[in-house]
Amino acid sequence: MFKSDLTKNRIAYSAPSNIAFVKYWGKHGRQLPMNASISMTLSRCCSHFQVQYYPQGQGRIKSLIFEGQEQTAFKARLQNYLDSIHDVAGWVAEYDFSIHSENTFPHSAGIASSASAMSAFIMCLCHIESMVGDKTLDLEHASLLARLASGSACRSVIPHYGVWGEHTGFPAGNDQFAVAFEDFDTSFAQMNDDIVIVDQAEKSVSSSAGHALMNAHPYRSGRIDQANDNFRVLINAMKVGDFESFGSVLENEALSLHGLMLSSDPSYILLKPNSLAIIEELKIWRHQSKLPVYFTIDAGPNLHLIYPKSVKESVAGFLKQVKEQFSVSVIHDEIGSGPKQL
């Protein structure tokens, strides 16, 4: 178990993944989003990072051990990242670092780990900065640094619901860092996310490549309008506790994201036959049960079932049947309160 130990210049954090309700898809400039997005911060799908820092260094990552193994590709990614943030965190150039990390979810689960990993790493960096530099640890700065590492990571440092991007309907929203959306109805306070693992394979096209395909996408401007409208409707639905409008935007966002992939040039498909089959089952069951259980999907084939905790028992019954019928596994997660120091 990783642990902070100030006497050894060692800081450890756990940070969660998040699931987007309105998707960030397409970017410009230095990791700036094409549209505003909102996500739910999770609780159990986390990355743990332990960063040891050495004064009088040169901004080098000496080693990166992920779940007991040296990871050269990930180490190179973090090194590039450190080299790129000297203008906003110049102090890193005067230290060297060695890193241990692990995920609380299986690597093969097909869950995007960059949001949790990058936010855990950056929380460690910001904590170190607050000790060796003149900055106090604040979430805005952490979120900005996380955004520069991976867009969606900027929302993972925010408790409960994080908003990233400018939007006329949400004045605090800005493109530089994520902020909390706190004005939701109490019916959205206790939410679950059951992740149905349809396929465990690593995705064939990275999110970064997908974002890049939005630059010349024929539906680019239509997507910006759609995302802005969806954001407005979803925020309002959460403010007044309207699950039906919430669910209809949630599912529209998921299918639109995959529609954009299907219509990119080159086009690609991340959904699997069972992704669609389980969506059909969910719709039938929802029609019969009349329960507010809706799906979303990230850049992969797995379904996230989003619903208020109060209907958990009924959803468990539905998932039992889905597991048997489609031979899939399920990871149970829920809304969470953001990164924690270990």
Which residues, at least 6 apart from 108, have a Cβ–Cβ distance to it below 8 Å?
200
Q: Which of 152, 228, 275, 296 binds ligand DP6 (CB under 6 A)?
A: 152
Q: Does residue 114 touch ligand DP6 according to CB under 6 A? A: yes
Output the smallest distance, CB 34 to ligand DP6, in A.
11
Q: Which of 2, 10, 14, 24 binds ligand DP6 (CB under 6 A)?
A: 24
Q: Which of 175, 193, 298, 333 binds ligand DP6 (CB under 6 A)?
A: 298
Q: Does residue 299 touch ligand DP6 according to CB under 6 A? A: yes
Which residues, at least 6 apart from 305, have a Cβ–Cβ distance to it below 8 Å?
192, 193, 194, 195, 196, 282, 293, 294, 295, 315, 319
Q: Which of these ranges, 73-81, 102-110, 149-157, 171-179, lies near ligand DP6 under the rule CB under 6 A?
A: 149-157
In angstroms, the CA 33 to CA 158 distance is 17
How many residues are recorded in the chain? Answer: 342
Judged by CB, which is closer to ligand DP6: 52, or 119? 119
In angstroms, the CA 120 to CA 124 distance is 6
Output the smallest distance, CB 211 to ligand DP6, in A.
5
Three-class SS string for 310-342?
A: HHHHHHHHHHHHHHHHHCCEEEEEEECCCCEEC
Instruction: Spell out, one character per residue from 210 to 249, where the chain touches ligand DP6: x when CB under 6 A holds, - when not.
Output: -x--------------------------------------
Q: Does residue 151 touch ligand DP6 according to CB under 6 A? A: yes
Q: Does residue 207 touch ligand DP6 according to CB under 6 A? A: yes
Exposed e or buried b per residue across 115-153, where buried means at least 16 C-beta atoms within 10 angstroms of its C-beta: bbbbbbbbbbbbbbbeeeeeeeeebebbbbbbbbbbbbb
Output the smallest distance, CB 32 to ligand DP6, in A.
10
Positions that interact with ligand DP6 (CB under 6 A): 20, 23-25, 37, 112, 114, 150-152, 207-208, 211, 257, 298-299
